[in-house]
């Protein structure tokens, strides 16, 4: 009860800024508000007390200062920039000056000055805080030995009391600097650990990318040769051997693919965009958990303002929901389980709609060891995020969380005494707007002056750009009987030279090549095509298999992408598609 009350009290001092601000900014905001409000109350109390005692020489300056501090507190609730910090410290410094000069109603007002070093170092750091406190020390010395004798209204300090207050102030400076030093070291160590972790993850991803590329190239040759061998005449024993090798090669391909997908910060995201019924999609997901096997009672609730038809990646939504529900059911030990799936619309634009998917389950997470439950965090959101992180780890939802975050959303988990709520967002476009976009695209395509001739595959003249001779031979074996002619280039420079001398119906382009890589070659080809109003389809054939690799290929001007190793039919289908479209 007391902890909750204190949490609410501290919450009043938190700035009205973005919740995603870093911890150092939040701490400074908290200290700014505590300093401004606390000093406002202290100075106001001194001013009111002076009025009661009929001491106008104290009441006027203290009431004026309390007004300035109150204004600065309200102002700093929304702004915590450098100029606002300096403004607050200036007013606090002025208040301390008055406490030293006038002593307050009890003649012990100088005691409040001892808090000044803590606020200056915490708000502006040790170096700037040192300057502020040094100026205040100089003023105190000047007052003790010179200024206090200039007016009868000024507080008089004896030599002993002056030395005593100076020693106390020096001690407060030392303690404030030590506290700030420890805090800075802790923050630096935390940043170092995070940076090291990020660097290790980046190095791991780079290593996996290189290993994936190096493995896929020879693996593509192996699978290609196996495909060729299967089409030859063999006895039964040889066929068994080839089938075994083929199955092992396919398993190795799956291992490499899974290694790539699970190692990325942003897991691979299927780009299958289709029109679908949200109700049918969700209903099909829930039907995969029959009561006889899962012992779960499902409730499905869709807000009435959600469009009937949506356009987006429904396969990804299915996968996220399957992962979440599977994990919840697996770890829920209750004999009778209940899960409610709610979908509400939170934002809508003319062509887009944002939905919130909420899974309410009677699953209860009980941590075996919780060292924070009684500590009384000042920020309740930090405790919620900590518990959510524990649940994500417990339910093994790391990949699911990344699938959600790759679209700019987040997986929020709210544990309650009798239930746990899982919530994530997703953005779709409406089916009608999608059709409109398709129609607009068709219209613009028809009005475009870029010409492309439909070519039958058997009459096609293809340029294969590949720096690896073995890969050239494998792809040549795949398609040589399907097309009219194939020319070869070992790098982007040769490809550009051949492109300028012959007319090609399609280009198969490798990415990583010497002299000029596939990206630069594609960009140059697209520039050359502008003068002829033509466009040759370019398909990237590469061992780079990460999601961003495909995006980079398409961004450079390529029309499609296929990663090694691949099945011959897959490459042939893509060639047919782009020759006839």
Q: What is the pLDDT of residue 525?
A: 93
pTM: 0.41
List of the chain residues with pLDDT < 70: 1-33, 35-36, 72-81, 187-188, 191, 195, 198, 202, 209, 213, 217, 250-251, 253-272, 292-293, 348, 350, 367-387, 431-453, 545-548
d(CA 200, CA 317): 31
> Where a domain ends, among 263, 285, 309?
263
d(CA 379, CA 8): 9
- pLDDT tens-digit series, residues 180-233: 788 777 766 776 777 677 677 767 777 776 777 677 767 777 777 777 777 788
Q: What is the pLDDT of residue 506?
A: 94
> Where a domain ends, among 386, 414, 430?
430
Q: Do both 327 and 414 map to the same domain? A: yes
Nearest Cα to Cα of residue 436 among 354, 355, 350 = 350
d(CA 246, CA 233): 16
CB 442 within 8 A of CB 381: no
229 within some domain: yes
Residues 6+ apart with CB under 8 A from 465: 488, 489, 490, 491, 492, 494, 495, 507, 508, 509, 510, 513, 518, 521
Q: Do both 120 and 29 map to the same domain? A: yes
Q: What is the pLDDT of residue 6?
A: 58
Q: What is the pLDDT of residue 147?
A: 87
**DSSP code at position 76:** H
Pairing of the two strands 538-542 and 274-277: unpaired
Q: Do both 226 and 255 map to the same domain? A: yes
473-478: Cβ within 8 A, 24+ apart: 474/220, 474/221, 474/224, 474/225, 475/224, 475/508, 475/541, 475/571, 477/224, 477/228, 478/224, 478/227, 478/568, 478/571, 478/572
> Which CATH number characterizes residue 285's domain?
3.30.565.10
Q: What is the pLDDT of residue 496?
A: 93
Place of tokens 């309650």: 416
Nearest Cα to Cα of residue 362 among 308, 443, 296 = 296
Q: Do both 214 and 136 map to the same domain? A: no
Q: Do both 407 and 289 map to the same domain? A: yes
Q: Do both 243 and 353 map to the same domain? A: no
Q: Do both 295 and 382 map to the same domain? A: yes
Q: Do both 153 and 218 map to the same domain? A: no
d(CA 393, CA 410): 15
533 within some domain: yes
Q: What is the pLDDT of residue 270?
A: 46
Q: Do both 249 and 288 map to the same domain? A: no
177 within some domain: no
163 within some domain: no
> Which CATH number characterizes residue 552's domain?
3.40.50.2300
212 within some domain: yes
Structural domain total, the chain: 4
Q: Do both 418 and 475 map to the same domain? A: no
Q: Do both 251 and 289 map to the same domain? A: no
191 within some domain: no
Query: Would you state the structure tokens that stand for residue 27, as one six-digit string?
Result: 């701490």
Q: What is the pLDDT of residue 27?
A: 65
> Where a domain ends, among 157, 175, 195?
157
Query: Would you state the structure tokens that stand for residue 329, as one six-digit string?
Result: 């059911």
371 within some domain: no
181 within some domain: no
Structural domain of residue 106, as residue ranges? 10-157
Q: Do both 500 and 526 map to the same domain? A: yes
Query: Would you state the structure tokens that stand for residue 166, as one six-digit string?
Result: 């100076």
d(CA 153, CA 98): 11
């Amino acid at each position: 009860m007391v902890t909750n009350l204190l949490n609410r009290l501290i919450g009043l001092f938190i700035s009205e800024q973005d919740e995603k601000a870093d911890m150092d900014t939040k701490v400074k905001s908290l200290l700014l508000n505590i300093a401004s409000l606390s000093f406002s109350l202290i100075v106001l109390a001194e001013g009111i007390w002076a009025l009661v005692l009929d001491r106008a020489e104290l009441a006027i300056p203290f009431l004026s200062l309390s007004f300035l501090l109150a204004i600065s507190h309200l102002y700093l609730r929304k702004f915590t920039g450098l100029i606002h910090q300096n403004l607050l410290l200036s007013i606090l410094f002025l208040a301390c000056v008055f406490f030293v000069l006038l002593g307050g109603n009890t003649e012990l007002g100088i005691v409040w000055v001892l808090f000044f070093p803590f606020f200056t170092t915490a708000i502006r750091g040790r170096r700037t805080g040192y300057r502020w406190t040094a100026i205040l020390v100089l003023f105190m010395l000047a007052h003790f030995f010179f200024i206090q004798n200039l007016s009868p209204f000024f507080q008089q300090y004896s030599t002993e009391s002056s030395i005593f207050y100076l020693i106390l102030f020096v001690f407060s400076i030392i303690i404030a600097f030590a506290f700030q030093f420890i805090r800075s070291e802790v923050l630096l160590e935390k940043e170092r650990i995070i940076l090291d972790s990020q660097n290790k993850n980046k190095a791991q991803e780079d290593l996996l990318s290189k290993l994936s590329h190096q493995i896929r190239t020879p693996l593509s040759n192996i699978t290609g040769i196996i495909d060729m061998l299967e089409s030859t005449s063999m006895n039964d024993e040889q066929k068994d051997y080839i089938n075994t090798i083929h199955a092992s090669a396919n398993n190795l391909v799956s291992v490499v693919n899974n290694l790539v997908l699970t190692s990325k910060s942003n897991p691979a995201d299927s780009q299958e965009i289709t029109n679908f019924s949200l109700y049918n999609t969700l209903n099909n997901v829930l039907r995969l958990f029959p009561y006889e096997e899962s012992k779960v009672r499902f409730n499905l609730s869709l807000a009435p303002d959600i469009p009937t038809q949506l356009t987006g990646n429904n396969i990804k939504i299915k996968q996220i929901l399957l992962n979440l529900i599977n994990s919840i059911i697996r770890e829920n030990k209750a004999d009778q389980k209940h899960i409610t799936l709610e979908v509400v619309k939170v934002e809508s634009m003319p062509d887009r709609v944002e939905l919130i998917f909420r899974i309410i389950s009677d699953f209860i997470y009980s941590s075996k060891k919780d060292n924070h439950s009684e500590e009384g965090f000042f920020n309740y959101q930090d405790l919620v995020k900590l518990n959510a992180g524990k649940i994500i780890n417990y339910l093994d939802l790391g990949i699911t969380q990344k699938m959600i975050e790759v679209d700019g959303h987040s997986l929020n988990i709210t544990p309650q005494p009798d239930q746990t709520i899982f919530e994530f967002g997703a953005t779709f476009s409406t089916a009608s707007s999608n059709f409109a976009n398709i129609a607009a695209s068709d219209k613009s395509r028809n009005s475009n002056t870029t010409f492309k001739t439909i070519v039958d595959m058997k009459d096609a003249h293809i340029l294969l750009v590949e720096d690896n001779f073995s890969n050239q031979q494998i792809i040549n074996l795949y398609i040589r009987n399907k097309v009219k002619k194939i020319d070869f280039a070992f790098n982007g420079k040769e490809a550009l030279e051949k492109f300028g001398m012959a007319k090609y119906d399609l280009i198969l382009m490798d990415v990583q090549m010497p002299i000029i890589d596939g990206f630069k070659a594609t960009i140059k080809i697209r520039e050359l095509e502008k003068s002829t109003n033509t466009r040759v389809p370019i398909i990237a054939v590469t061992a780079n298999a990460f999601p961003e690799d495909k995006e980079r290929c398409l961004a450079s001007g390529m029309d499609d992408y296929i990663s090694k190793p691949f099945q011959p039919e897959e490459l042939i289908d893509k060639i047919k598609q782009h020759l006839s479209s």
